[in-house]
């Protein structure tokens, strides 16, 4: 059987308000395998971001388990969960989330420094990744001085610095024009095809979602469709 990287077992996420309760995820069971390129679509409020955050250990489910490479994460707490997340998961966000006053190089190596890797090793790896995402010529520029598409390339290099098992991307093209969107999706697909990087991305844009080789559709906190594309 193929290598299962992330498994969700009966994951439910509820947010409690004063009077009402929102069920953001409603008993979701799902497995993501090595090498997949997965699109998550669905209307606003259907739980896409919550699902991605739970998969990536940024948020905890109310019920159910998140299993990363066979390891149940429900008993892991505090610093250990942050360390596991830092080592195993690469995140890409709609708003890039670069630190504006740091250079491209500094932004890319930061997640590596946080988990205690050596600067020399990180800088070498960052250079290689920046070349692969086509932004090496901007290495000493500050994050704030780059275009949206350039910032997202840097964010992809940053997401890969710790050799994660998976990249989770929440609306990675949400702030980009259609030309830059295509370039970013082509880049992610190339990373998937040529380097075997597993990617799960969220997009409400049907053109972007068509990049997915497996397409999950969400509605009211549930996965209502899970389709593999031939
Ligand atoms: N921190 C929170 N506190 C309370 N409710 C929340 C919180 N985060 C999300 N929700 C609710 O959970 C549901 C799912 O939200 P989520 O952000 O996952 O949706 P989404 O599919 O990503 O939507 P969008 O396409 O607008 O980004 C929504 O009803 C939302 O209002
Ligand atoms: Mg969202």
Summarize pLDDT for 105-114 with one digit per residue, the tens.
999 999 999 9
Torsion sign across C-alpha atoms 213, 218, 222, 224: negative
- State the total domains in the chain: 1
Q: pLDDT tens string for the chain (230 positions)?
A: 579 999 999 999 999 988 899 999 999 999 999 999 999 999 999 999 999 999 999 999 999 999 999 999 999 988 999 999 999 999 999 999 999 999 999 999 999 999 999 999 999 999 999 999 999 999 999 998 999 999 999 999 999 999 999 999 999 999 999 999 999 999 999 999 999 999 999 999 999 999 999 999 999 999 999 999 98
> Does residue 44 have its Cβ closer than 6 Å to ligand 1?
yes
Residue 6 within a domain? no
Residue 151 within a domain? yes
> Does residue 223 have its Cβ closer than 6 Å to ligand 1?
no
Residue 27 within a domain? no
Residue 67 within a domain? no
pLDDT of amino acid 18: 85
Which residues constitute the domain of residue 141? 35-47+75-228
Atom of ligand 1 nearest to the CA of 171: 27
The CATH number given to whatever domain includes residue 139 is 3.40.50.300
Residue 172 within a domain? yes
Residue 152 within a domain? yes
Residue 178 within a domain? yes
Pocket test for ligand 1, best of 23, 41, 47 (most atoms within 8 A of CB): 47
Residue 185 within a domain? yes
Nearest CA to ligand 1 atom 2: 15
- Helix H or strand E encompassing 51: helix 48-55
Which long-range CB contacts under 8 A does 112-119 form with residues at least 24 apart? 112/161, 112/162, 114/86, 115/83, 115/86, 115/87, 115/162, 117/162
pLDDT of amino acid 1: 54
Atom of ligand 1 nearest to the CA of 218: 21
Pocket test for ligand 1, best of 15, 28, 41, 169 (most atoms within 8 A of CB): 15
Rounded to two decimals, the pTM is 0.96
Name the maximum alpha-carbon separation found in the chain. Answer: 54
Ligand 1 center to 144 CA (angstroms): 28
> Does residue 24 have its Cβ closer than 6 Å to ligand 1?
yes
pLDDT of amino acid 97: 95
């Amino acid at each position: 059987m193929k290598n299962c990287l992330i498994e969700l077992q009966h994951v439910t996420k509820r947010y409690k308000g004063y009077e009402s309760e929102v069920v953001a995820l409603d008993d979701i069971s799902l497995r993501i395998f090595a090498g997949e390129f997965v699109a998550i679509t669905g209307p606003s409020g259907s739980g896409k971001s919550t699902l991605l955050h739970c998969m990536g250990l940024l948020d905890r489910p109310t019920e159910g388990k998140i299993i990363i490479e066979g390891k149940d994460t429900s008993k892991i707490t505090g610093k250990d969960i942050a360390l596991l997340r830092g080592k195993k998961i690469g995140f890409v966000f709609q708003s890039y989330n670069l630190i504006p006053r740091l250079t491209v190089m500094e932004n890319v190596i930061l997640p590596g420094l946080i988990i205690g890797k050596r600067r020399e090793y990180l800088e070498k790896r960052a250079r290689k990744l920046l070349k692969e995402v086509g932004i090496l010529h901007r290495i000493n520029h500050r994050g704030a001085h780059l275009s949206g598409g350039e910032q997202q390339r840097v964010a992809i290099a940053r997401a890969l610095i710790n050799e994660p098992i998976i990249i989770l991307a929440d609306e990675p093209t949400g702030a980009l024009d259609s030309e830059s969107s295509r370039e970013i999706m082509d880049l992610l697909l190339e990373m998937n095809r040529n380097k075997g990087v597993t990617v799960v991305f969220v997009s409400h844009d049907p053109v972007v979602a068509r990049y997915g080789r497996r397409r999950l559709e969400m509605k009211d906190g549930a996965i209502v469709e899970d389709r593999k594309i031939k």
